[in-house]
Amino acid sequence: MPLIINKMKKSRPLLGFFSIWLLKGICFGFELNVFQVGQANFTICVVGQQALVFDCGSAKPGEWVDSKKKFKRAKETVIGNLLNGVTEVTIVISHNHIDHLNLAEALQKFCEKHRETHQVFKGWEIVKKETGEEQSMFSNILGEDVNVIPLLPSSRERLSPTEPHDNNLVLKIALRAGGPAILLTGDGSKNLLHSINPDLLCDIGVLILSHHGSNASDELVWFRTVKINNENRPVLYLISSDPKGKDHIPAYETI
């Protein structure tokens, strides 16, 4: 049964808090924070003095930033509390879609203001180049104890003769720290999801679904064909969306 984080507005703060607590418990040794940003994605993983931000968007950016694209005071406080003690921030944008990146500029300004070292990786540029250096590029961004595994689409997908679709140029990331892995999907296409190593799939404890729980994204087909429920995994599915948002997702079938 998936847990729909962004459905939970102010009226249900406890459930949102509980979700975050659950993630900490499952993942042994690191903390994954999933923000309520509507039909969009914004997650921050903190390990000691390092943080990985995977996607940084909101369906309603006006709730987060002012006219100068700086975080509003209340949001700055939230981010500041989360990044308290962090000195190194890595921002990874999975793909070139506004709902995954429209807060990135504000976050960079925040890091500059607080003098945190920060770097930004644009997933679509990394998958286009495919240099073979991707593993080392991410190897130490959360320290030695957390394995950060970049997952690239196959070259067949990436170099499709037809116009490349943004959803074919998505960088996904798996995180593992001794326990089951967390898979951060961005919005990958079905073929792209299929290209994930089956061994890794069997070891996924937490999955953030791509496409915000849409049933038009081939995700359901993917789940059925890869038998992702082997060994009762994933333990926890997360859908970052808002049923009252523009597409009214997650879909009933997905849930």
The footprint of Zn ion (CB under 5 A) covers: 99, 187
Residue closer to Zn ion, measured from CB, 40 or 141: 40
Contact 78, 110 (CB under 8 A): no
CB 53 to Zn ion: min, Å: 16
Residue closer to Zn ion, measured from CB, 37 or 174: 37
CB 126 to Zn ion: min, Å: 18
CB 94 to Zn ion: min, Å: 9
Residue closer to Zn ion, measured from CB, 88 or 187: 187
What does DSSP say about strands 204-208 and 181-184: parallel, antiparallel, or unpaired?
parallel
CB 57 to Zn ion: min, Å: 8
CB 168 to Zn ion: min, Å: 14
User: Rounded distance, CA 167 to CA 158, Å?
Assistant: 10
CB 99 to Zn ion: min, Å: 4
* Residue 157 CA: distances (Å) to CA of 30, 123, 169, 198, 212: 33, 15, 8, 18, 22
CA neighbours within 13 Å on the CB side: how many for 40? 23
Alpha carbon 66 to its chain centroid, in Å, reads 24
Residue closer to Zn ion, measured from CB, 75 or 212: 212
Contact 4, 11 (CB under 8 A): no
CA neighbours within 13 Å on the CB side: how many for 109? 13
* Residue 192, amino acid: L
DSSP-based three-state secondary structure for 90: strand
Residue closer to Zn ion, measured from CB, 6 or 19: 6
